[in-house]
Amino acid sequence: MTSFITTINSRSRNAFKPQKSNRGTTSWQLKQFAEATLGSGSLRKAVKLPEGEDRDEWLAVNVVDFYNQINLLYGSITEFCSPQTCPEMKATDEFEYLWQDSENYKRPTKMPAPEYIEHLMAWVQSNIDNESMFPSRIGAPFPKAFSTTVRQIFKRLYRVYAHIYCHHYPVVIHLGLEPHLNTSFKHYVLFVDEHGLSGGAKDFWGPLGDLVESMLKSD
């Protein structure tokens, strides 16, 4: 894993600052649990809610973890993903993603993949940094809108995986990052499946449906 992080950090440009849990907090303890179970080799075990723990807290910890993973993975191929090479935020031709938020882009807006992903990661970061949405104080309640926001974050983060797989997989293989991308994505798939984060949408997996199905069957 060290060589993986070193490779990515040496290539990454404009990467967002990874989030960290404060040692001794519930979030930190849950993160240690997640890392220990991941090391056991069972991803299905790693995504399950630890006995006696709060579900929202577990979702929050894992949102941060997947944000960090995707940030590092995309950071490794940014020099190959430009407005010239990727003028649209697409997976396959049937799946193009338009950006929309509540501030600057109130209508779905077409933009190059790097710009889209920059907005997406900044939006996730802003939610994570929002104390009213992701409280960091021990015992602070999560808001009623938390589950909806988490589902939306997972839905949007999936689009980065889809873009990397559909447009930059040869580069991923060339850089030797294929095992890390596949493990990260399988972890993501199993987590979404375990906690019902697809919202029952039949088209949630869209362009990577066959890959997702094989991952669900293999674990």
- Give the up-direction half-sphere exposure of residue 142: CA atoms within 13 A in the CB hemisphere: 18
168 is an annotated ligand-binding site residue:
yes
Rg for the chain (alpha carbons), in Å? 17
Answer yes or no: are the C-beta atoms of 71 and 117 closer than 8 Å. no
SS3 percent helix, strand, coil of the chain, rounded to 5, is 60, 0, 40
Residue type present at position 209 = G
Return the DSSP state at 153.
H
81 is an annotated ligand-binding site residue:
yes
86 is an annotated ligand-binding site residue:
yes
Dmax (CA) for the chain in angstroms is 50
Answer yes or no: are the C-beta atoms of 53 and 165 closer than 8 Å. no
For the beta carbon of residue 208, count every other beta carbon within 10 angstroms.
Answer: 19
Q: Which tokens in the block code for residue 137? A: 């104080």
Length of the chain: 219
Q: Which tokens in the block code for residue 158? A: 């999936």
Q: Which tokens in the block code for residue 8? A: 């990515």
List binding-site positions for Zn(2+): 81, 86, 163, 168
List binding-site positions: 81, 86, 163, 168
